[in-house]
Structure 1
Amino acid sequence: MKKNIAGVEIPDSAMAQAVTDLMRGTKSELMFHHALRAFFFAALSGYQKKLTFDAELLYVGAMFHNVGLNAKYHDSPYRYEVDGANAAREFLMNYAVADDAIDEVWAAIALHTTPGIPEHMSPLIAMMSAGVQMDVRGACYEDFTAQQRDEIVQAYPRESGFKKRLIDAYARGMAHRPDTTFGTVNADVLDRWDPNYRRQNFCGLILGSDWPN
């Protein structure tokens, strides 16, 4: 595995190697490469803004951010982001990581699909969201140079049909728990993927509540 890409170093600690090995054996290549690219774009976004952050914790967070979509969580009633955050917490507890740092990684993973909030929180939380959103939907695409984008994609390619395959992977990981998509971008995924899916509507929930007025 190449250690320096686009000016970003992949952490080489025992913890970083352990999470790499774990995720390589747990995820599809498509999702593994997506997580790696998300880390690089996240780190670059931090460099751009001159933020201070722990690269090792950012790497662990990026590796775990989409693990909640795995078949292991097929019976989970939680948002997939929460499953990923909980898994990251369990992993980090095996290492000498402070509780507040673990909580920050948890929040970074749990909030990475919630628009408008992460960028106002800690650098790690803001960067995690920025990195994932850049790789998924090209958020702030022009803030990264063509050379940076090319180096990252050359090292960890966006496979043929990546956009549609990613949507499919997200949808399959959430199809059994459609109610967890309420109020998040995940509702858009199931709305496009599942013809039988019906969004919950906040106004409908208010008007249809048990309150008499």
Structure 2
Amino acid sequence: MVPSNPTFPHLPISRVAIPSTPLTNAALAYSRKLTSPSTVNHCLRSVAFALILARKLPPYASADPETLTLAVLMHDLGWAQDASKSLLSTDKRFEVDGANLARDFIGNAEIANHASGWDEHRLQLVWDAIALHTTPSIAAHKQPVVALVSLGVLADFTGPNHPTGTISVDEYKEVVATFPRLDFREELPKILCGLCVDKPQTTYDNFVGDFGLAGLQGAELETFKAGKEKNGTAALLLGGLQACEQYE
């Protein structure tokens, strides 16, 4: 289960010590408030994996651990549940909602005394890292923190099969034992299919739409398929070119 106190456990095999600062502890509490236990554990595992990658991959060694931890802890705030859904937009991708919530959280006056040393650059790193965490082909070419957030989240889905080849079986087992998956595998499709129903226009051009096509059923599926076909990137671009022909 998710640890009941804000102190992060030490992982001796993985040689990971998640930074326990007033700000990271507050971010963990905030994530628990907005998202499910399964999502929180996913974020904690992703933090551990990101820190392992930062230690093992020299190009990312300069990443600030606190900034990295905050970005990974809050990367799925866009999955806010129940009453917390009121904090989400109706027209933005969940990654952008999460990035906005994280930036607002760090800048909130109530925790400003915990955020010493946080300038616009660090805030922008957190925003970019969360907004781009599902777009590794872009994140990989950004700053180390941004790249590591994407790599760390991916590691929770690939484990020892991570494309960098840096997560050992023993490290993987330790991280998952410390922060169990709970019902994450069952919850993930429900969350993403929910986005396809609640705000489909934000899912047509990205991976969330794939979950919609695979997981929705009946009338919801047919409605979504029609919307995706009409509003997919290829349809929009080619349709736009055709519409412009009258001016050429």
TM-score, normalising length from structure 2?
0.79
2:173 corresponds, among 150, 153, 173, to: 150
- 1:131 matched to which residue of 2? 152
Cα deviation per residue 1:30-53 (whole Å; 9 max; x = unaligned)? 000001011111111111212211
User: Residue 73 and residue 188 in structure 1: after superposition, are their counterparts in 2 closer, same or farther (change >3 A)?
Assistant: farther
Superposed displacement of residue 58, structure 1? 1.1
State which drifts further: 176-185 or 51-60. Answer: 176-185
Asked if residue 46 in structure 1 is aligned to residue 54 in structure 2, the reply is: yes
Letter in 2 for 1:177: K
Between structure 1 and structure 2, the one with the greater Rg is 2
Query: Which SS does the other structure have where 1:117 is aligned?
Result: helix
Structure-2 change in CA distance of 1:54 and 1:172 (3 Å): same
2:24–2:70: 8 Å Cα contact kept in structure 1?
yes
Give the CA deviation at 1:143. Answer: 2.6
Write the distance in 2 (CA, Å) between the matches of 1:168 and 1:18: 27
Q: Say which structure, 1 or 2, has more relative contact order (CA 8 Å, 6+ apart).
A: 1
Question: Where do residues 1-213 of structure 1 align in structure 2 (5 Å cutoff)?
Answer: 1-5=7-11, 6-50=14-58, 51-70=61-80, 71-73=85-87, 75-93=89-107, 94=112, 95-96=115-116, 97-138=118-159, 140=162, 142-160=165-183, 162-194=184-216, 195-196=221-222, 197-198=224-225, 199=228, 200-209=231-240, 210-212=243-245
CA contact (8 A) 2:90 2:199 kept: yes
Question: Compared with structure 1, are the counterparts of its residues 81 and 7 closer, same or farther at alpha carbon in structure 2 (3 Å cutoff)?
Answer: same
Gapped runs of 5+ residues in structure 2? Answer: 1-6
Query: 1:109: how far off?
Result: 0.2
Alignment root-mean-square deviation, CA:
1.9
Identity value in percent: 27
| 4+ residue runs over 6 A deviation | none
Amino acid aligned to 2:39: M
More helix per residue: 1 or 2? 2
Check conservation: 1:4, 1:10, Cα contact below 8 A: yes
Q: Deviations over 1:97-117 (max 9, x none)?
A: 111010011000000111311
Report the Cα distance in structure 1 between the residues aligned to 2:34 and 2:207, rounded to whole angstroms.
25
Q: What TM-score comes out, normalization by structure 1 length?
A: 0.91
1:77: Cα distance to partner? 1.1
Deviation at 1:168, TM superposition (A): 1.4
For residues 182 and 54 of structure 1, the distance between their equivalents in structure 2, rounded to whole angstroms, comes to 34
Distance 1:137 1:179 in 2: 29
- CA drift of 1:173 comes to 3.9
Q: Tell me the amino acid that sits aligned with residue 78 of structure 1.
A: K
Q: Is the 8 A contact 2:42 2:156 kept in 1?
A: yes
Contact residue 103 and residue 123 of structure 2 kept, 8 A: yes
CA contact (8 A) 1:35 1:65 kept: yes
Structure 1, unaligned stretches of length 5 or more? none
Task: Say if 1:87 and 1:2 are closer, same or farther in 2 by CA, change over 3 A.
Answer: closer
Q: Deviations over 1:43-83 (max 9, x none)?
A: 11111212211111111111211111212345521111011
Question: What is aligned with 2:3?
Answer: none
TM-fit CA distance, 1:92: 1.6
**Deviating more after overlay: 30-39 vs 192-201:** 192-201
